Structure 1
Amino acid sequence: MSGAGRSGLPRGVRLLAVPAVLVVCAGPALGGCSGGTGHGSPDAGSTGSWSVRGENALPGTADWAITRPGAPDEIQGYADHVGVRPGTAVRLLVSTRASSFTVRAYRFGWYGGARARLVWTSAPAVGERQAAAVVDGRGTAVAPWRPSLTVPTDGWPPGSYLLRLDAASGGQRWVPLTVESPATAGRVVLLQPVTSYQAYNTWGGANLYTGPDGTAATRARAVAYDRPYQDEDGAADFFTLEQPLVVYAEQLGLPLAYRTGLDLEQDPGALAGAAAVVSEGHDEYWSPAMRATLTAARDHGANLAFLGANAIYRRIRFESSALGADRVEVNYKVPQEDPLYGKDDAQVTGNWPDPPDADPQNALTGQGYACYSSTNGPLVVADPGHWIWAGSGVLAGQRLAGLVGPESDHVDPVNPAPAPLTVLAHSPVACAFGPATTADATYYTAPSRAGVFDAGTENWVCALRDDSCPGVPDQVRQVVRTATATLLAKFANGAAG
């Protein structure tokens, strides 16, 4: 979330009127290994033998949801990796009042409408009440816990996972994990916005916005991945910003690959050969290395889809924690507070459009950040003849109710986008802070012939839900689902031009 934007369209912008058995090992304090059960296919970790269609033909699981959340301290935990390649072990660090607990790993997809499949179940692990949060001088909270068990991921297919912690006393919580695809060549990459998940995480008392007293003055200047997530029973913003897209993309049977934002930080080749990259939901926090990796992918012909708003707005950097590299995310928001200010301005944290070393996101996304709105408004169609609307039946000036908000983007006259830029929708927005402006949906073609789409509204992903999106009528959801299917199918075939 950011400040208010500016309205108006610059010259050059076109505003037109016319889809086996595994092993779970306890930590040293728990005395070794206990049995676990796998439910995957033996070739699941290989993109050569695994497919989204084949995966979703497997039986889904109807009872994956948390039904007994209990108090947060009844059971909670986190993983020592945000994402891993198939077959890489993950340690879980769990604190619970219960004498024992069980872990169930659910992979999310379509599965005939079940939306998840149970891939693995642990044997009961010994429960332990672990230490309270430790907070440093920057407001960074960590959970200084001992590992509780080790989860092998042998045979797990790539995808977005939630590990459900089930306490013997009845409480339940989630731990997110991405099992990354071995390769991305020729695939549509779904990019999990873990940096935004962590920026908004208040576990331990503070996030990058507010501190224990609820004010910005006591906010954290850095946040750690060495702690559970507070929201959505430990799932961060998975169900709000990610699950609808994952489920729908897998329902479409697209050739998918899975990556996290941290992958782009750590591996410049993380998107090698990708047909397309999809930024999910509210993908706000990006480091210079993350942005460079995505830009290089576009410049090599990978199509980009930003299916949210406010993407690549906050500039961050990473530091190490006790558990490893890149597990502390730094964003001072006020550049002058950053110790690197005036010393290494390329690494100073703040906002991408602002000094020092300003580099507005428009050059990549096509748009700038508009504003946050406390009420959702209609998306107004400007170019019904563009191929993205094919089969949706939309008309010029049609108002798609409830689709714009709470965050939105617009074509920025001060920081122009690559040209030519086509405006697909141009909508009024009443900002919660600052004057009213507009929200836009845009498309441009890069010199590599890659197509770049920015939905310009956070509610685009909500409208992909297969049940309902609050405030968005079913007929509007169908327009968005049709447009998304058209977009992703075209993007899956290579540079869309």
Structure 2
Amino acid sequence: MDQEHIPGDPEGAAEGAGRRRFLALATGAATVAGLGAVGGCGTGDADGPDGGGAKAGKGNAPSGKAGGKAGPRGFDVKAENARPGNADWTVTKSGPARAVEGFADKVSVLPGESFGLHVSTTAPRFTVSAYRMGWYAGARARLVWRSEALPGARQPEHTVDPGTRMVRTRWARTTTVETKDWPEGSYLLRLDAQGGEGQRFVPLTVRSATTAGRTVVVNAVATWQAYNRWGGYGSYDGPSGGYASRSLAVSFDRPYEYDDGAGLFLTYEAPLIALAERLGIPLAYATTTDVAREKRLLEGAAAVLSLGHDEYWSPEQRAHITAARDAGTNLAVLGANCCFRRIRLEPSDLGPDRTLVCYKSSYEQDPGFKRGQPATVDFRSAPGADPESSLLGVIYDGYPVDAPYVVTNPGHWLFEGAGVSEGDRFAHLVGVEYDKVNTGFPTPRPIEILAHSPVVCEGRPSHQDTAYYTTESGAGVFATGTMRWVEALDAKGDGKSGRNHGLDARSGALTTRVTENLLRVFAAGPAGRTHPARDNVKAVYGGTAPGR
């Protein structure tokens, strides 16, 4: 989510310290913890491929019913969330820097598999508590397991690879954790240093072995890691704050930088997971790494959910999600700037797929590229340009913006029960990054615009679009076009406090109702068969739409 790709912009103009400061300001507005997100504003309409793109048809037969039925292999979301939750799961005392922190040597495990936990602490002892994140009558988490007190030790200092500026830790394994009887789901492991010296989270996914008939929650671990600056370096800058000092590769073998250690999970993913589990629809759980690695993982899935900040994708992940769409699996993109960076996953000393390679504008220096692998640049950029719009329907247009969300198509089924009228505005809901329908890039048709919100991005007038298209396979694809959608699910304030970027209860109610409608219909099977899109691009844009 940055400016580097935008024609006419000096290379790296939006990267580095200024961009990180903007990101840090957004962090403070999170509901529990996490980040707001930023990118770069520019002429997103320019230099797009010739318009039109792939044609997307529509099906003709309804399939399936939504509801709270148990998923395959007996996993029942409703039964799980009927169990008592634990409201005391949060990090309330982060303590001094480096007081306690750690990482798991796997981003995901199947139920019953073990993983290694690598912890560094200044305390003599610490405990580990595994919380499964969900709804749980509003508690949002359930304590599944807690360790005995474990001996603590300060691990060695990290090193920085001179070639890629990748931070490396070679920490010893502190303990092995068994996941027997842990249900599938998204987890936060809380590390508690003895004597109240500090707390930190370690995220982990207990993934589903099969997704058939279920809606798949995909934790965007690649994007979490790209934004992780633990050790002083991330994919955007280094200690100097400049773009040129950024890491060209980043490792999962390190903690997450931010105060609670949860990466981007709590702002961009946890509110959606809570809503989906409250609805009781059959769910499956995976990470972006799992989707990339396992070609058949999404076979038969009802829907795939890309959550609030899902920017970094491998070609394999994109290919597997595209194949699922083409087989009738629905896709919901609940953020903006999705599927923007092309990455490569490589092994580390601890196992496969634990190094994320993304050279961006320096791709010609990449040894993998020199060996014939795809360039790790923006998907829309040469060499091998493949704009994200061919899958998403919308394309990233810029940052930073803060604008009202404007309803254009209030009669659409996704707005059912929301009580909205044409022209209704929802303050601050568009931001910090946004997408739009731009037929100057490959755009599936028919595509239907639900909201068309004027924005001014660094002096350039443009629009944000929420859009829905359907395909010949019957799949429905929905994109919010704004990064604040998932965060807004938790907005309950008056819009004046600055919490959640000033989002108010109206925005919270709107996004909640639309998301409920979306999840119920998408859980029922190919949405295009019962809810075909009706193309309205010309009606919305008139003669101003690129490529028309």
Query: What TM-score does the superposition give when structure 1 sets the normalisation length?
Result: 0.90
3-state SS in 2 of match to 1:430: strand
Aligned partners of 1:55 and 1:235: how far apart in 2?
23
Report the counterpart of residue 106 of structure 2 in structure 1: 81
How much does 1:143 deviate?
Answer: 1.6
Residue from 457, 481, 498 that aligns with 1:431: 457
Quick one: which amino acid aligns to residue 179 of structure 2? T
Residue from 266, 290, 306 that aligns with 1:263: 290
Specify whether residues 232 and 451 from structure 1 end up closer, same or farther in structure 2 by C-alpha distance, changes over 3 A only: farther
3-state SS in 2 of match to 1:213: coil
How much does 1:467 deviate?
Answer: 4.7
Residue from 301, 310, 321 that aligns with 1:294: 321
Quick one: which amino acid aligns to residue 450 of structure 1? A
How much does 1:342 deviate?
Answer: 6.0
3-state SS in 2 of match to 1:163: strand
8 Å contact from structure 1 (residues 333, 351) kept in 2: yes
Structure 2 residue 398 is matched with structure 1 residue 371: yes
Report the counterpart of residue 494 of structure 1 in structure 2: 525
Aligned partners of 1:406 and 1:128: how far apart in 2?
40
3-state SS in 1 of match to 2:116: strand
8 Å contact from structure 2 (residues 52, 441) kept in 1: no
8 Å contact from structure 1 (residues 178, 258) kept in 2: yes
Quick one: which amino acid aligns to residue 325 of structure 1? P
Q: Which moved more, 1:469-478 or 1:206-215?
A: 469-478
8 Å contact from structure 1 (residues 425, 442) kept in 2: yes
Report the counterpart of residue 189 of structure 2 in structure 1: 163
| 1:336-366 deviation line (CA, Å, top 9, x unaligned) | 332344652x521010000001000101000
Aligned partners of 2:449 and 2:2: how far apart in 1?
23
Residue from 330, 348, 361 that aligns with 1:321: 348
Aligned partners of 1:60 and 1:192: how far apart in 2?
22
Aligned partners of 1:97 and 1:211: how far apart in 2?
26
How much does 1:475 deviate?
Answer: 1.5
Quick one: which amino acid aligns to residue 196 of structure 1? T
Report the counterpart of residue 441 of structure 2 in structure 1: 415
Structure 2 residue 292 is matched with structure 1 residue 254: no
Aligned partners of 1:5 and 1:87: how far apart in 2?
49
Q: Please, what is the CA RMSD of the aligned residues?
A: 1.9
8 Å contact from structure 1 (residues 7, 438) kept in 2: no
Report the counterpart of residue 484 of structure 2 in structure 1: 459
How much does 1:11 deviate?
Answer: 7.3
Q: Report how many aligned residue pairs link the two structures.
A: 463
**Higher normalized helix content (fraction of residues):** 2
Quick one: which amino acid aligns to residue 384 of structure 1? P
- Tell me, which stretches of 5 or more residues in structure 1 are unaligned? 14-44
How much does 1:261 deviate?
Answer: 0.1
Aligned partners of 1:52 and 1:343: how far apart in 2?
45
Aligned partners of 2:77 and 2:206: how far apart in 1?
14
Residue from 468, 472, 486 that aligns with 1:443: 468
3-state SS in 2 of match to 1:351: coil
User: Could you tell me the percent identity over the aligned residues?
Assistant: 48
Report the counterpart of residue 201 of structure 2 in structure 1: 174
3-state SS in 2 of match to 1:281: coil
Report the counterpart of residue 257 of structure 2 in structure 1: 230
8 Å contact from structure 1 (residues 308, 457) kept in 2: yes
| 1:422-442 deviation line (CA, Å, top 9, x unaligned) | 11111112224x623211101
- Once the two structures are superposed, the pairs formed by residues 75-474 of structure 1 within 5 Å of their partners are 75-137=100-162, 138-170=164-196, 171-334=198-361, 335-341=363-369, 343-344=371-372, 347-373=374-400, 375-432=401-458, 435-465=460-490, 467-468=492-493, 469-474=500-505
- Once the two structures are superposed, the pairs formed by residues 63-82 of structure 1 within 5 Å of their partners are 63-82=88-107
How much does 1:400 deviate?
Answer: 1.7
How much does 1:98 deviate?
Answer: 0.7
3-state SS in 2 of match to 1:270: coil
Residue from 498, 503, 509 that aligns with 1:478: 509
**Higher normalized strand content (fraction of residues):** 1
8 Å contact from structure 2 (residues 107, 204) kept in 1: yes
How much does 1:495 deviate?
Answer: 0.1
3-state SS in 1 of match to 2:360: coil
Aligned partners of 1:82 and 1:5: how far apart in 2?
36
Specify whether residues 11 and 48 from structure 1 end up closer, same or farther in structure 2 by C-alpha distance, changes over 3 A only: closer
How much does 1:496 deviate?
Answer: 0.3
How much does 1:318 deviate?
Answer: 1.0
Aligned partners of 2:209 and 2:353: how far apart in 1?
21
- Tell me, which stretches of 5 or more residues in structure 2 are unaligned? 4-41, 55-69, 494-499, 529-548
Aligned partners of 1:430 and 1:178: how far apart in 2?
38
Report the counterpart of residue 6 of structure 1 in structure 2: 44
8 Å contact from structure 1 (residues 6, 437) kept in 2: no
How much does 1:46 deviate?
Answer: 8.8
Aligned partners of 1:408 and 1:477: how far apart in 2?
18
Specify whether residues 480 and 396 from structure 1 end up closer, same or farther in structure 2 by C-alpha distance, changes over 3 A only: same
3-state SS in 1 of match to 2:223: helix
Aligned partners of 1:186 and 1:46: how far apart in 2?
7
| 1:175-219 deviation line (CA, Å, top 9, x unaligned) | 000110121110011111101000000001110101111110100
How much does 1:381 deviate?
Answer: 1.1
3-state SS in 1 of match to 2:89: coil
Specify whether residues 476 and 6 from structure 1 end up closer, same or farther in structure 2 by C-alpha distance, changes over 3 A only: same
Specify whether residues 287 and 11 from structure 1 end up closer, same or farther in structure 2 by C-alpha distance, changes over 3 A only: closer
Query: What TM-score does the superposition give when structure 2 sets the normalisation length?
Result: 0.82
